Amino acid sequence: MIKAILIFNNHGKPRMSKFYEHYTEDTEQQIIRETFHLVSKRDENVCNFLEGGLLIGGSENKLIYRHYATLYFVFCVDSSESELGILDLIQVFVETLDKCFENVCELDLIFHLDKVHNILAEMVMGGMVLETNMSEIITQVEAQGKMEKSEAGIAGAPARAVSAVKNMNLPEMPKNINIGDISIKVPNLPSFK
Amino acid sequence: MALKIVKGSIDRMFDKNLQDLVRGIRNHKEDEAKYISTCIDEIKQELKQDNIAVKANAVCKLTYLQMLGYDVSWAAFNIVEVMSSSKFTFKRIGYLAASQCFHEGTDVIMLTTNQIRKDLSSPNQYDTGVALTGLSCFVTPDLARDLANDIMTLMSHTKPYIRKKAVLIMYKVFLKYPESLRPAFPRLKEKLEDPDPGVQSAAVNVICELARRNPKNYLSLAPLFFKLMTSSTNNWVLIKIIKLFGALTPLEPRLGKKLIEPLTNLIHSTSAMSLLYECVNTVIAVLISLSSGMPNHSASIQLCVQKLRILIEDSDQNLKYLGLLAMSKILKTHPKSVQSHKDLILQCLDDKDESIRLRALDLLYGMVSKKNLMEIVKKLMLHVDKAEGTTYRDELLTKIIDICSQSNYQYITNFEWYISILVELTRLEGTRHGHLIASQMLDVAIRVKAIRGFAVAQMATLLDNAHLLTGNTQRNGICEVLYAAAWICGEFSEHLEDPMQTLEAMLRPKVATLPGHIQAVYVQNAAKLFATVLQKHEGETDSQAAQETSQLLIDRLPLFVQSANLEVQERASCILQLVKYIQKLQQKNVEVAEEVTALFAGELNPVAPKAQKKVPIPEGLDLDAWINEPPSESESEDEKPKAVFAKEEPKHYRSRNTEVDEKELARRREVRKQEQANNPFYIKASPSSQKVYDAPGVEHIPVVQIDLSVPLKVPGMPMSDQYLKLEEERQQKEKAERKKKEKKKKREKRGKGRKADSGPESEEDITPAQHVDIVTEEMPENALPSDDDDKDPNDPHRALDIDLDNLLSGFSSRPLADSEKLPVRTHRPEVLKSPAEDRVSESVPPETKKKSSKEKKEKKKDKEKDRKRSKEEKKKKKKHKEVEEELLESQPEEPVQSEETKEAAAPPTSTSAEEVTVPSSAVETSSAAVPESEPDEPKDTEPEDTKSSKHKKKKQKKEKEEKEKKKKKRHHHHHHHGEAGGEDSVQNGTVEEEEPLPPMSNYSVLAENSFIKMMREDAEQVYDIQGNHQDESKVVVSIIFENKSDSFLKSMEFNVLDSLNSKLQRPEGAGPHDGLTVPFQLPPGVSNEARFVFSVQSIVMPQKLKGTLTFIVKSDESSTHEKLDFKLHFTCTSYLITTPCYSDAYAKLLESGDLKGSSLRLEGINMPFHHLLARICFHHHFSVVERIDSCASMYSRSIQGHHVCLLVKTSDQTVSIDAKCDEPSLLGNVLDELKQTFSKC
């Protein structure tokens, strides 16, 4: 079981948090803070596992994380998950984000939290892995996106226009944090069928 | 109107959307909290608007704020609103928000049940998907119970996208509602072989999660998984399965043997490290499970170790880490194969990655032997010096101590070395583990007698240099060591070379800065030292030295007498007075040494940590019984202060304690002392504990003279290294000596040779430097060996410990007791709490009953087995008592009965496939037929009658007994639905318990042929009339489909010819003549329930609807299209809802004069009056308002609000019913139906 999935940046600002067990908002923030504290002080070239499970649930939990550019992707899992499998899942997740946002960067995640959640929902459901095949995930995400668009229809057009205008006068929208450029060393794992 | 919409959408454009909110927050970095609070105010405004788009936008923003840590639970209701939007866009936003912030405590969750159910059955797969995803995050026990059946249906959905989600969410449902596991399991198992890999993977996922917690229940699935493992190519699935096998093998070693080969093949063939790693892990698990049985798997072990070595040597830190992790598992059973890789592991200690170092440390723990302990510890000590960061260093420290002390200091050959190590460790700055070191010092000094002299010398040095330890206040953790040092010096002061000096060190003014508990030990042990000093100087002509010592104490102790710590103060003043007295005696030249020493005579032995717990309770002692009657509350309050030190709260003490209390207390104390004196199990403070030392041999072991000249003086220099050298030399010497000895052909062993244990020769060629006389810890006599660690009672997975084997044995036997069926809509509490408990079997014509009685008996046996089994299981689920009660008490009556009904009704019709339509009169709910035998022999059909029919003869005897049982049970019932069901149930004719009621069922056969049987439940659940459906009512019909053939039934379509008045509700877009697909398929012997909703306009007339069920029968060779006709009969009664009514309201209703009357007379009814009432209640949905002797008033209400009142009187087999209703035609029909019901008796 996956207990929680957290994304935060190099400064510990949460970018997405998904807890599969209930915690109060305060506890959630504390967990994010402590996880950040644990993860951020680790060197780049150390292993991606941390036995910091005291935060969530019992000691059998592990933190498995990856660091991409400005973002940390942290999965808190119990012993039923394969460590290397989860690492690969994080990779699939990030690659899917990259495909869906076209060169994803931190800002995409910031401004489209709902979309990130929707993508994640196609991969992990209630703490269990639902789908590991990237093309399948993308198909489903896109199909739902299409549905959304067709529902918005013409009525949605002006809103989109306004949003576009609003985005125009946004100077700080550089897509500088491109994870595609950063090569990620993945252990010799086959992609999941 | 149109303008309004346009205006609305333009307004909306300028509302803040999520992006604007985020942007705003980023632009207000300084006053973020303030900005957000204004945003929340805006959101609150937006939520008040009617426009759903605005609301959805607001909820979307709330989801973002929730991530930032803001509590948004106040908007829960709005979230539910957005969830119920018909647009997917908004629905998704709503569900997302709900999944982020709903939990079991959210009360609006109750409101979502119907919405979720609607979404689950939505024609749009993404609506369903979104609902499932959301539900997976916030499912509660109630939701799980109400929706289990719907989700189960979705597991057979046509779209794999839905199927996989439905399969996955079942795990959550099981967790929340364990009763659903058994009914759902066959289908879950089916999904393991689903054509879609995603669904298959989901099913594997769920079963692995289940099996991990309760592996034994899933052993029977092993062959299936084995097949999957050898056939699947999906690594994710393979990993899960292989992990599962790892959990299963400890339970079934045979499985392990089978697994080794394919796993080894996988290890050789796979290129995926993740898979390789899991394979190795499982092979290890297999080897562990086999380790006792089959020793010859060294090849596999070698393979594993070799692969792991490759992992550890890999430059990838992740693989290195995992390799070490797996290695530690092998270590437990095959330490030798790991020990050969010691070099590699020691190398890992130098790794820059802390996680890897910690893993390596774990491994070292298992790798030490007598030979290499010193070397390894030396290496670790080096790391301690180098280590940055206190956490890792503390970890090292504990590891060193763990390694050395493991299994009773098994690997320590030289305790002097160990003491030196401990002393060195005290020099660590800022460690938290001073306590740990201290307890080790104490433990070693107490338990290893031979080392005491050395230990005392070391401790004396420590005390002398106490300023080094305490100098820095930040190091306070380490000063715990002084506690041990002081105690050891005091207790074993006879070994001290210069007790006077130590005494002086212990009484330095600086000591007063130590924590209180340490000071207390100082003071106490100063007294012990004093006694030793006195003894030493006794007999000397010059008493100067002894008197000086007394003077020293008298000078220094007042410092402690002033201590704020009570313990210190008390001890110090006590000892001070004692010393003053001794001084007086000394001045008179009286010899006191012996008496003073006697104060501290006797030895203290270590007590095992669990000793107290293991004291067996003597026979006849009841710990829960009151010794004295409990005092009244005020008194008990008074007693509290006595537990605290009186001085702390002197006022308290004086004011409240009366003299009587004092006396009483004294008396109690006396009694207690007496009791303790007589109690052999009470551990007394007297030196009786010395008897442990009477154990043969212990005292006679010569204490080794150690001729080592290790300089102990300089505390700043590490000394343990010297031991290492010495040890090596010693071993060399020993070896040489042994060789000599061997040449001389076994002379006698040296005096300090090992007598007791020290294991096999091959491993332990090393003789310990001291004889390791480890005093065992004391245990009380008769201590019971016990394992303490029970499973956590709060573990939700305990409830899922459900035996599934009988489900797996095949579909041919009835897989489930009907009581375990998932609750469906029609089983909701309202229905259960209606008079349904006391049911009469119906639609069983007497002849058929007799015909089928034989069959029935057999069937019964099976059923009984089933039920017994299920009951046992239920007993396990203690946690779910309430639900269980419901199931045990109420449900079994109905379903078992209904089964009999099925069975009994089967023979006459099963002959021809064409003759499908059973005459409606035999089927209809209102036309109940009660078997003649029943009133006389009600036990025959009692579900409680679990005694098998073999015992039929005995039954008569048991009857009485059972009646009583039943009475009890019924009490329970009444209590049960008395709580929720209102007064009607209390009055349901059983109050007097004249005679047990025959059971009743409301399932009746609708139609059947040789392939399928349709059973219909008549207790239609009536919907609340909502929204635009104001002019019509909905009726839900539950139909059980049972596959009677040996073939697979699929593509079932249910269709009904609509009448003007009643229509089948079809999904949007379907034509009025289209059939409804039954949402499941039926394997042979399986039954399942589907519900169909009808809308009915007028309810005053009974209705008959003709319908057809078409389906495909698929056997191995062929598949044929089949058809079954049936008639659905909606009686007027079925539109009545059991509604409780109070007698005053009832009287008013009758007085109002709006009701029109009618009456009915029934002749020749010979059943007890309460049976009659129960029947009316059960079949016609009435409730009893009042009953006086043989007269009762009853009430019911139609779904459209018509009141129906009955006055039932009986005398001599004649029953007269006066009825009133505001709708005469409805009343007429109801009375006709009533008449029909009773004409069948």
Q: What is the CATH number of the domain that holds A99?
A: 3.30.450.60
**Confidence (pLDDT) at B648:** 43
Average pLDDT in chain B: 72
Q: How far apart are CA B976 and CA B885, in angstroms?
A: 9
Q: How many residues does chain B have?
A: 1241
Residue B787 has pLDDT above 90, yes or no: no
Q: Report chain A (193 residues): mean pLDDT per 10 consecutive residues.
A: 92 92 88 88 85 64 89 90 90 91 86 92 92 91 90 65 58 41 36 36
**Confidence (pLDDT) at B934:** 40
* A-B contacts (CB, under 8 Å): 184
Report residue B1127 as tokens: 């008639």
Residue B220 has pLDDT above 50, yes or no: yes
In chain A, DSSP finds a helix count (H) and a strand count (E) of 5, 7
Alpha carbon of residue B1153 to chain centroid: 60
Contact residues on chain A for B66, CB-CB shorter than 8 A: 25
User: B297-331 as b/e, with b when 16 or more CB fall inside 10 Å?
Assistant: beebbebbbebbbebbebebbbbbbbbbbbbbbbb
**Confidence (pLDDT) at B783:** 58
Of the candidate ranges B173-177, B321-325, B335-339, the one whose mean pLDDT is the lowest: B335-339
Mean pLDDT of B246-261: 83
Q: Are B381 and B684 in contact (CB under 8 A)?
A: no
Q: Residue B8's closest chain A neighbor by CA? A: A155
At B140, the pLDDT band (50, 70, 90 cuts) reads very high
Higher pLDDT, B232 or B702: B232
Residue B283 has pLDDT above 90, yes or no: no
Which residue of A62, A130, A135, A149 is the best one to mutate when testing the B interface, meaning the one whose CB has the most B CBs within 10 A? A130
Handedness of CA B1146, B1151, B1153, B1158 (dihedral sign): positive
Residue B681 has pLDDT above 90, yes or no: no
Q: How far apart are CA B1217 and CA B1196, in angstroms?
A: 14
- Percent of chain B at pLDDT > 70 equals 67
CA distance to B581, B907, B1194, B1196, per residue, from B1177 (Å): 95, 30, 8, 9
Contact A84 B274 (CB under 8 A): yes
Q: Among partner residues A80, A85, A132, which is closest to B208 by beta-carbon distance?
A: A80
Contact B202 A170 (CB under 8 A): no
Higher pLDDT, B16 or B655: B16
**Confidence (pLDDT) at B384:** 83
Q: Among partner residues A20, A113, A132, which is closest to B137 by beta-carbon distance?
A: A20
Residue B923 has pLDDT above 50, yes or no: no
Report residue A193 as tokens: 């069928």
Domain that holds residue A126: 2-152
Residue B491 has pLDDT above 60, yes or no: yes
Query: What residues contact A29, with CB distance under 8 A and at least 6 apart?
Result: A14, B69
Residue A43 placed within a domain: yes
Higher pLDDT, B819 or B1154: B1154
Q: Among partner residues A46, A117, A125, which is closest to B355 by beta-carbon distance?
A: A46
Q: How far apart are CA B897 and CA B945, in angstroms?
A: 12
Of the candidate ranges B595-599, B845-849, B914-918, B1173-1177, the one whose mean pLDDT is the lowest: B914-918
Q: How far apart are CA B422 and CA B409, in angstroms?
A: 14
Of the candidate ranges B57-66, B340-349, B504-513, B887-896, the one whose mean pLDDT is the lowest: B887-896
Taking only the tens place, the pLDDT of each residue in B970-1013 is 444 444 443 443 343 334 433 334 445 555 555 667 777 777 76
**Confidence (pLDDT) at B741:** 58
Query: What residues contact B738, with CB distance under 8 A and at least 6 apart?
Result: B765
Q: Are B547 and B586 in contact (CB under 8 A)?
A: yes
Of the candidate ranges B178-192, B672-686, B742-756, the one whose mean pLDDT is the lowest: B742-756
**Confidence (pLDDT) at B28:** 86
**Confidence (pLDDT) at B92:** 92
Of the candidate ranges B290-304, B520-534, B865-879, the one whose mean pLDDT is the lowest: B865-879
Long-range contacts from B578-585, C-beta under 8 angstroms, 24+ separation: B578/B527, B579/B527, B579/B530, B579/B550, B579/B553, B579/B554, B580/B554, B582/B534, B582/B550, B583/B547, B583/B550, B583/B551, B583/B554
**Confidence (pLDDT) at A50:** 83
Q: Estimate the crossing angle of helix B273-290 against helix B253-269, to 10 degrees.
A: 150
d(CA A130, nearest CA chain B) in Å: 6
Contact B60 A136 (CB under 8 A): no
**Confidence (pLDDT) at B932:** 40
**Confidence (pLDDT) at B743:** 56
**Confidence (pLDDT) at B1184:** 82
d(CA B313, nearest CA chain A) in Å: 14
Q: Residue A25's closest chain B neighbor by CA? A: B69
Residue A93 placed within a domain: yes
Q: Report the domain count for chain A.
A: 1
At B879, the pLDDT band (50, 70, 90 cuts) reads very low
**Confidence (pLDDT) at B12:** 53
Mean pLDDT of B258-270: 86
Contact B271 A188 (CB under 8 A): yes
Q: How far apart are CA B539 and CA B729, in angstroms?
A: 45
**Confidence (pLDDT) at B259:** 86
Of the candidate ranges B325-329, B682-686, B1103-1107, the one whose mean pLDDT is the lowest: B682-686
**Confidence (pLDDT) at B608:** 75
Bridge-partner residues for B1054, per DSSP? B1076, B1109
Q: How far apart are CA A123 and CA B314, in angstroms?
A: 30
d(CA B339, nearest CA chain A) in Å: 24
Q: Report ipTM for this prediction.
A: 0.89
- The three-point CA angle B944-B949-B954 to 5° equals 85
DSSP run (H or E) holding B144: helix B141-154
Report residue B1136 as tokens: 């009545």
Bridge-partner residues for B1108, per DSSP? B1055, B1125
**Confidence (pLDDT) at A125:** 93
Q: How far apart are CA B702 and CA B317, in angstroms?
A: 52
Taking the CB of residue B958, how many other CB atoms lie within 10 A of it? 14
At B1140, the pLDDT band (50, 70, 90 cuts) reads confident
Q: Highest-confidence range of A126-130, B406-410, B512-516, by mean pLDDT?
A: A126-130
Residue A185 placed within a domain: no
- The three-point CA angle B370-B376-B382 to 5° equals 150
Mean pLDDT of B21-31: 86
Taking only the tens place, the pLDDT of each residue in B1069-1123 is 777 777 777 777 777 777 777 777 778 777 778 878 888 888 888 877 777 888 8
Q: How far apart are CA B808 and CA B781, in angstroms?
A: 50
Three-state DSSP at B587 gives: helix
**Confidence (pLDDT) at B16:** 78
Residue B864 has pLDDT above 70, yes or no: no
Name residue B191's amino acid: K
Residue A14 placed within a domain: yes
Q: How far apart are CA B254 and CA B264, in angstroms?
A: 16
Mean pLDDT of B533-543: 77
Residue B318 has pLDDT above 80, yes or no: yes
**Confidence (pLDDT) at B268:** 87
**Confidence (pLDDT) at B696:** 44
Alpha carbon of residue B586 to chain centroid: 69
Residue B461 has pLDDT above 80, yes or no: yes
Q: Residue A171's closest chain B neighbor by CA? A: B23
Contact residues on chain A for B164, CB-CB shorter than 8 A: 130-131
- Percent of chain B at pLDDT > 90 equals 9
Q: Estimate the crossing angle of helix B434-447 against helix B415-425, to 10 degrees.
A: 160
**Confidence (pLDDT) at A78:** 87
Residue B672 has pLDDT above 60, yes or no: yes
Three-state DSSP at B47 gives: helix
**Confidence (pLDDT) at A91:** 92
Contact A111 B137 (CB under 8 A): no
Residue A67 placed within a domain: yes
**Confidence (pLDDT) at B78:** 92
Query: What residues contact A36, with CB distance under 8 A and at least 6 apart?
Result: A8, A12, A72
Q: How far apart are CA B201 and CA B206, in angstroms?
A: 9
Contact residues on chain A for B97, CB-CB shorter than 8 A: none
Q: Residue B9's closest chain A neighbor by CA? A: A155
Handedness of CA B829, B830, B833, B835 (dihedral sign): negative
DSSP B99-136: HHH--TT-TTHHHHHHHHHHHHT-SSHHHHHHHHHHHH
Contact residues on chain B for A112, CB-CB shorter than 8 A: 18
Contact A187 B319 (CB under 8 A): yes
Residue A25 placed within a domain: yes
Q: What is the dihedral of CA B880, B886, B892, B897, to 10 degrees?
A: -160
Report residue B636 as tokens: 């008990």
- The three-point CA angle B151-B152-B153 to 5° equals 90
CA distance to A16, B15, B33, B72, per residue, from B37 (Å): 21, 16, 6, 12
**Confidence (pLDDT) at B1162:** 79
**Confidence (pLDDT) at A140:** 92
